[in-house]
Structure 1
Amino acid sequence: MIFFGLGIFTVIGQNITVSGKVIDVNGQPIPGATIIVKGTSTGAVTNFDGVYNIKTNGSSTIVVSYIGFETIEIPVNNKQTINVQLKEDISLLDEVVVIGYGTQKRSDVTGAVTRANLDAFKEAPNANVVQSLQGTVPGLNIGQVTSAGSTPSIEIRGQVTLGGSKDVLIILDGIQYNGSLSSINSNDIESIDVLKDVSSTAVYGAQAANGVILITTKGGKRNQKAKVNMTSSYTTLEPTVDLRPMERGEYIDYLNRQLYEFEFTEESGYTVPNPAYEGYFGNNSGANFNPKLESLDNPGTFNNNDYDWWDQGTQGGFIQENLLSVSGASESISYLVSLGLTEQEGFVKNDNFSRRSMRVNLDADATDWWKIGIQTFGSFVKKDGDQPDLYQLVIAAPLFTPYDENGNLVATPSGSLDTNPFLGSNTQDYERHDYFFANMYSEMQLPFIKGLSYRLNFGNNYRVDKAYGASIYGAGETGDAGKEVKFYRDYTLDNILKYNRVFGKHDVSATLLYGALERQFELTNAYASGFDRLSLGYNDLGVGSIPKISSEAYTETLNYQMARVNYKFDNRYILTGTIRRDGFSAFAENEKTAYFPSGALGWIVSNESFLENADWINSLKARVSYGISGNQTKRYSSLARIGTRASYVFGDGSSTAFGQELNSLANPDLRWEKTKGLNVGVDFSMLSNRIRGSVDTYRNITDDLLFAVRIPYLTGFDEIQTNVGTIKNTGIEISITGDIIRTEDFTWTTTANFSRNKNVILALTGEDADGDGEEDDLIQSNLFIGKSINAIFDYENDGIVQIGEENVVGGFNPGEYKVVDQNGDGEITQADDRTFLGTKDPDFRASLLNTFKYKNLSFSFFFNTIQGGDDSYIAKNDNALYRDANTLHRNVLSGIDYWSPQNPNGLNALSSSRPGITPGRYENRSFVRLQDVNLRYSFNKSVLESLSIEDLSIFVSAKNLATWTKWRGWDPEVQDPSKNLYGSGLSAGGRPVLKGLSVGINLTF
């Protein structure tokens, strides 16, 4: 009633009508602009011609606003006509991005630098911050995760090396971070900037060959009162696809299907049932294939068993997060203190992840010319618990149970070589990872030269990893236990001298750097087996009868110098030049250091006079860059290394003596791998900033590739680390954001990303052993000149041999895959009948983010896709079954389409024999995924102010809700090149990608 009465009073007080027109700086009308009488709810919106009418009193003030323009307040002063000209909000152009050893306005950036959109995904159910970057930055490829707390694969602009480091460089608050990204509380992060081209990464030299991710954490804002923020959320997790092993009935049918030569008559082509066959358990026809069943007097006793191994080894997962931060600032000190607790349980039992983190960021002005600060955090990760073996969970037959009549685990329930999947989970397991990070800095404005400053950074990473375990089933059920402790530490010391001055139309800045980095690592492992008792587990290793102790350590050092100059003339022409010198202890005596130069040009075209009347262009900048970056070799790879092993026995019955021998050849001329990169790009904003984006195209040529080349073993060695070959890496990246609708109450914004990357091997060893005038491929290493690094060179599948099919080239039997005879000689040989089937690389990646906001309600959804063709983005997804005494009884995932005489069109081979050559079966991995959905409601601030609450919002978010793909199996996107895994198919041991549904609350005082 009070508010109603005040509304009536306001209406009564209105005594004039104000009208006018709202235009932009070019005189064009702005439809949809909002005019509000300050301090009231009275408002109006301009029409298509930019005209408005509003009733108010003569002493009031009107507030005029429109998205993309600066908001202004105008006193009425009894005027009845007020025309308004709005200026464009250039905050997007003036946004400061991190570029390495400093910051720069986006409008001045000449390299390919992209800031990730963290706000759109800050409430997504992710335990690792880089999961929020998946598909959001063109050129940045983030993989999927399938276990709790794990870090996905990270790649920027494809692969540019063979044997060099493939790791993306992570810079946290200006310091290299070599810990796991799972240790970082995502709520502490202010921004993430991605450096992609050689020019922008050149400041980090040889460590930035694979791109750089710059992570900046939050701090207090100057003159900000203390602010307390609390966030709490809970997420349920389950697999994106419902796959599980066969249950009893289907499993028995599967057993009989494997024994089709018993179940059906031979003369009918195994299509007519054999009346003498009574089923697998009826007359024990298959007993000779299964020693466990053959030894039993009554195989029918298994008829009562239908044990669900999969259900007992899996669970519904969850993520629970509780985050608290306090930030604030006075005129001279700003601070942020945060605490975080993240708990996650994955789909597999004992797949646990717990992170407790604490951060303190502090910046202080010691004087008006001296600033000091520290960014530091500690993170404590717990991953206790051994998971049941997923492969064994799938293949365990439902006819057996894991326990005997006394409730004890049976090591081999089926009597074969396959072990009980729960042996691994019924153990003592202690796994902890403690991370400590600190960056302390001192920055002074030097008095003798205006614009000159000096900054000293000292950063430290320290990590302790502990893995303890004990199992009564280990070492052939004699029991084993062990303790492994790792210590890692590094320091970074950077001396940075900066100069910034503006002389009329000339804007000059320079950065000089001298720094050093040292890494140290040590490991101690104590292990024992053969325990009479294991009551104290890993805390009493001396009880074990067979001890084994090992240890290792290393130290490696780097030093570097860098100079960068930025010059801008008349706010139109920009020049950036950088040179860096790197030294690394791992390189050979003659090649310890290398130089990496780069240069870039920028042209702000929109500031030229010939575009001053182009009203539809708000900003347009063209840029081109060229430079050289390097890559580091592995430590000791240039040296002749010595190993120790059992080598001699002196006399009969004497003990074995240990000897030392060379394990590798030295290469005193091992050089730095170098990548020459060209990038051409354009940044644009148009139509009153309603459409904005960037386009980049690039070409990288990598020479002197670091690679272990195979050599004849008669030398005593099988390979040597050396420099060989050349790779070309090209691509295009497009990002466009458009405000489809933008009014005061409702906005609809869309961001579309597209990227394409291709690589090709231009040269390898340069040798021509066969004298055909062409350089030889490295077939054993799967490297071919003119092909992609990820080319697939294999036998071509020609379907499955059918019953009665004769004269099959290669002599394959019914149920086995046929191989295409590539040279038509009537034989199948390894040397002549393999061919190029395609590549593991995709054709392109794309994503689409839509965000809708209506008053206090916001809704967004994000699609991500990776696409290939018939011969691109393919991977082996073959589940061929070659029956023997061990494989016959093994279970498989339900729904695998096996061949049989009754199912001649089955996809997967099924045979009682294993051929010498198996071509496999490849499938396309293309997919479209509804990756993120978010719904948020923010309560009205006018209501919250009375409760002393600054902000209150509740949200519901979802992850991986739906995936559209022709790939058969767990997920097409999952890959791990170190394990030659590309796509998680229907094979036993595959892990599912999880979809999550989250609810949460965000509260700020």
Structure 2
Amino acid sequence: MTKLNLTQFPNGTIDNPYYVIENNQQSDDRNRFVGNASLSYQLTDWLEVYGRVAVDSYNYIMEERQTDLIRVPARYNIRNVAFTEANYDLMFNYNKDITEKFNTSGVFGTNIRRSKNQSIYNSTSGGLIVKDLYAINNSVANPPAATETFTKIGVNGYFGSLSLGYDKTYYLDVTGRVDQSSTLPEKNNTYFYPSVAASFVFSELLHSSVLSFGKLRLNYAEVGNDAQAQSLFDVLNKSAYAFGSAQRYSVNDTKNNENLKLESTRSWEAGVETSFLNGRVSYNASLYNTNTLNQIMPVSVTAATGYTRKYVNAGDVRNRGIEMTLSGKPLVKQGFSWTIDLNWSMNRSKVMSLYEGVNNLNLGNYSTDMSLNATAGRPFGEWRGSDFVYLDGKPVINQTDGKYLKSDATSVLGDMNPDWIGGLMNTFTYKNLSFKFLIDMQTGGDIFSEDMAIGTRNGLYSNTTGLNELGNPMRDPISAGGGLLLDGVAPDGTVNTIRTEMRDRNHALGSPSAPSVMFLYDASYVKLREVSLSYTLPSKFVQRYGIFGAQVSLIGANLWIIHKNLPYADPEAGIAGGTLQGFQSGVFPSTRNFGFNLKLNF
């Protein structure tokens, strides 16, 4: 299997994708150990001392093997990573009834966390001497020096909690924690974060035959977050290549900051929990508000400083929302029951402020002029890029080349945040047999598809082929009746009369000719998320074998996308995490998963 000749491509040939799949291989080999040991001692009938040591350690080797391709020679990469995290806990747990109605409980203790991460990476250079022998020593040219990283993080924590309860009706919980982190400067490395929560079980006072349970709750919490390792002091980077006999060093692109402070999150939440008719119906709802302050982020600075970005404490991002669940059993009769569980949530984000003198922070750029942004006073994660130029609500077509006129790349086109998300679970049970299915849905949110931008440019999708309005192949030359007449108007407002060429990837429908808004889609979807069928074996049967209970289940997940607006892909596939969300690039087809589960109780 060799090269694939495609004469319509400017470079004449590309690599056969089947050849690439067959000959380019990646392997991961991981060994992991997770374990803990604990010891407790009851000092009194209400006080216990508890100690625990927990370790999570792994090492893995990642290898990438690439054969000779048209544009790049064969290469071999290897990365070896070793990670260890150890936690040491000492806690005093107490639970005491002060009076018949008044109870107090809680915990006081300390946590010591130590983590170490070490990696080494190397690759060949200039190809391989012996074909298909993947080893660093088989490099044609001298391989660059290995890239080594080593980080150690230590956090000392001291914490406590106090819970008070009175007459099974009134409850108050107070917590506090002090952390000392090695990733923050010595003068700012100790921080305190508290929480307080109150609840009132009002059903204890009503004694209603309709209301089975009712509780109101209100809480406030703060959480601290330190910096990533090696964010404080600047160091020189050793270049992989020397200048003759002299080793070269350079500064990092990002300026570190020895005056960083902790990042903190402050939130409050209020909610209600209710149950009616002996549990036949229940309803829960909560409102929340969260502000993330002093976020540790790299902001852009002028390259005249010698850097392109600088770590700072910046910004206040607010999230507000509501979450609700409703459950009910509309039918319970003669061994048969039907249970419905409905959940719904809505979140609204807003960038309250950014770094001093900065109104917009670019979170990421993409293959077109599209960018994801955090702008003061706007929702977090706004899409900005080029839009159509409109005249009387219709896109304007350039009568010289038949392509759309575009606005500049600062147009606000949408944001990545959904309007709301929800789910509906139905459970049908008849004696020992249970059948469940879950439908998930999302409304709103905008997703940018680099796959559509690049794929349309390269003619991979159906809108770039077929017959035009004259009945001729649109990929034929315009002189032969080909090309495509775009729907729109000329700059003077008359109907468009100029076709665009569709013979190569410079046509009007793909990147970079088309406005970026063409590749921004509504991320709404409705999915059949999961279906399961379970059977609980009769207890009389399984107890013969010393088993207290047994259940077998057939489970299917991600079975059907009932509705979506994004073509050719799952709206949830390929979406990155962290601050970079709401886009797709190089997405693989989503898969249906089927499984069998056996649960035994001894």
**TM-score, structure 1 length as denominator?**
0.51
Q: Which amino acid aligns with 2:383?
A: I
Q: Give me the whole-angstrom Cα distance separating, in 2, the residues matched to 1:672 and 1:587.
A: 7
Q: How does 1:398-797 map to 2 (within 5 A)?
A: 403=1, 409-410=2-3, 416=12, 418-421=14-17, 422-427=19-24, 429-447=26-44, 450-473=45-68, 478-504=73-99, 505-529=101-125, 530-534=127-131, 536-538=133-135, 541=137, 544-548=140-144, 549-608=146-205, 611-612=206-207, 614-645=208-239, 654-661=244-251, 663-743=253-333, 745-767=335-357, 776-778=359-361, 782-797=373-388
Q: Deviations over 1:354-406 (max 9, x none)?
A: xxxxxxxxxxxxxxxxxxxxxxxxxxxxxxxxxxxxxxxxxxxxxxxxx2xxx
Residue 973 (structure 1) aligned to one of 572, 576, 599: 572
- Counterpart in the other structure of 1:859: 435
Q: How does 1:52-131 map to 2 (within 5 A)?
A: none
Q: How does 1:325-344 map to 2 (within 5 A)?
A: none
How far the C-alpha of 1:756 sits from its partner, in A, is 0.8
Q: Give me the whole-angstrom Cα distance separating, in 1, the residues matched to 2:435 and 2:242.
A: 73
Distance 1:680 1:898, change over 3 A: farther
How far the C-alpha of 1:483 sits from its partner, in A, is 3.0
Q: Give me the whole-angstrom Cα distance separating, in 2, the residues matched to 1:714 and 1:792.
A: 29
How far the C-alpha of 1:895 sits from its partner, in A, is 6.4
Q: Deviations over 1:541-581 (max 9, x none)?
A: 35654223232211111111111110111211111111111
Q: Which amino acid aligns with 1:836?
A: V
How far the C-alpha of 1:667 sits from its partner, in A, is 2.2
Q: Which amino acid aligns with 1:837?
A: L
Q: Give me the whole-angstrom Cα distance separating, in 2, the residues matched to 1:594 and 1:519.
A: 20
Residue 961 (structure 1) aligned to one of 537, 540, 559: 559
How far the C-alpha of 1:474 sits from its partner, in A, is 6.5
Q: Give me the whole-angstrom Cα distance separating, in 1, the residues matched to 2:362 and 2:60.
A: 39
1:537 aligns to what SS in structure 2? coil
Q: Give me the whole-angstrom Cα distance separating, in 2, the residues matched to 1:435 and 1:594.
A: 33
How far the C-alpha of 1:744 sits from its partner, in A, is 5.2
1:567 aligns to what SS in structure 2? strand
Preserved contact between residue 556 and residue 586 of structure 1 (Cα < 8 Å): yes
1:619 aligns to what SS in structure 2? strand
- Counterpart in the other structure of 2:532: 934
- Counterpart in the other structure of 2:448: 875
Q: Which amino acid aligns with 1:856?
A: N
Q: Which runs of 5+ in 2 are unaligned?
A: 365-372, 471-483, 489-499
Distance 1:616 1:896, change over 3 A: farther
Greater shift in the superposed pair: 672-681 or 465-474 = 465-474
Q: Give me the whole-angstrom Cα distance separating, in 2, the residues matched to 1:590 and 1:979.
A: 29
Residue 817 (structure 1) aligned to one of 390, 397, 404: 404
Q: Give me the whole-angstrom Cα distance separating, in 2, the residues matched to 1:882 and 1:427.
A: 23
- Counterpart in the other structure of 1:202: none
Structure number with the bigger relative contact order (C-alpha 8 A, sep ≥ 6) is 1
Q: Give me the whole-angstrom Cα distance separating, in 2, the residues matched to 1:991 and 1:757.
A: 29
Q: Give me the whole-angstrom Cα distance separating, in 1, the residues matched to 2:271 and 2:467.
A: 52
Number of equivalenced pairs: 553
Distance 1:480 1:568, change over 3 A: same
How far the C-alpha of 1:458 sits from its partner, in A, is 0.6
Q: Which of the pair is proportionally richer in strand? A: 2
How far the C-alpha of 1:593 sits from its partner, in A, is 1.4
Preserved contact between residue 102 and residue 166 of structure 2 (Cα < 8 Å): yes
2:186 aligns to what SS in structure 1? coil
Distance 1:912 1:858, change over 3 A: closer
Q: Give me the whole-angstrom Cα distance separating, in 2, the residues matched to 1:579 and 1:497.
A: 15
- Counterpart in the other structure of 2:460: 892
Distance 1:881 1:741, change over 3 A: closer
Q: Percent identity?
A: 20
CA RMSD of aligned residues (A): 3.4
Q: Which amino acid aligns with 1:622?
A: L
Q: Which amino acid aligns with 2:404?
A: Y
Q: Which amino acid aligns with 2:388?
A: N
Q: Give me the whole-angstrom Cα distance separating, in 2, the residues matched to 1:876 and 1:430.
A: 29
- Counterpart in the other structure of 1:376: none
Q: Which runs of 5+ in 1 are unaligned?
A: 1-402, 404-408, 768-774, 820-827
Preserved contact between residue 843 and residue 873 of structure 1 (Cα < 8 Å): no
Q: Give me the whole-angstrom Cα distance separating, in 2, the residues matched to 1:945 and 1:510.
A: 40
Q: Which amino acid aligns with 1:511?
A: V
Preserved contact between residue 157 and residue 178 of structure 2 (Cα < 8 Å): yes
Distance 1:760 1:897, change over 3 A: farther
Q: Deviations over 1:446-469 (max 9, x none)?
A: 14xx41111111110111111234
Q: Give me the whole-angstrom Cα distance separating, in 2, the residues matched to 1:937 and 1:644.
A: 62
How far the C-alpha of 1:486 sits from its partner, in A, is 0.9
- Counterpart in the other structure of 1:193: none
Q: Give me the whole-angstrom Cα distance separating, in 2, the residues matched to 1:482 and 1:666.
A: 29
Residue 995 (structure 1) aligned to one of 581, 584, 592: 592
Distance 1:866 1:526, change over 3 A: same
Q: Which amino acid aligns with 2:46?
A: G
- Counterpart in the other structure of 1:329: none
- Counterpart in the other structure of 1:850: 426
How far the C-alpha of 1:917 sits from its partner, in A, is 7.5
How far the C-alpha of 1:711 sits from its partner, in A, is 1.5
Q: Give me the whole-angstrom Cα distance separating, in 1, the residues matched to 2:465 and 2:170.
A: 63
Q: Give me the whole-angstrom Cα distance separating, in 1, the residues matched to 2:69 and 2:191.
A: 50
Q: Which amino acid aligns with 2:288?
A: Y
Q: Give me the whole-angstrom Cα distance separating, in 2, the residues matched to 1:425 and 1:585.
A: 47
2:203 aligns to what SS in structure 1? helix
Q: How does 1:175-190 map to 2 (within 5 A)?
A: none
Preserved contact between residue 383 and residue 414 of structure 2 (Cα < 8 Å): yes
Q: Give me the whole-angstrom Cα distance separating, in 2, the residues matched to 1:591 and 1:457.
A: 29
Preserved contact between residue 6 and residue 13 of structure 2 (Cα < 8 Å): no
**TM-score, structure 2 length as denominator?**
0.82
Distance 1:733 1:896, change over 3 A: farther
Q: Deviations over 1:950-989 (max 9, x none)?
A: 55554433222222123212111221157956365xx8x3
Q: Which amino acid aligns with 1:923?
A: Y
Q: Deviations over 1:631-663 (max 9, x none)?
A: 2221111222321237985xxxx5453235465
Q: Give me the whole-angstrom Cα distance separating, in 1, the residues matched to 2:69 and 2:32.
A: 31
Preserved contact between residue 436 and residue 532 of structure 2 (Cα < 8 Å): yes
Preserved contact between residue 509 and residue 565 of structure 1 (Cα < 8 Å): yes
Q: Deviations over 1:491-525 (max 9, x none)?
A: 00111111110122111012112111111111122
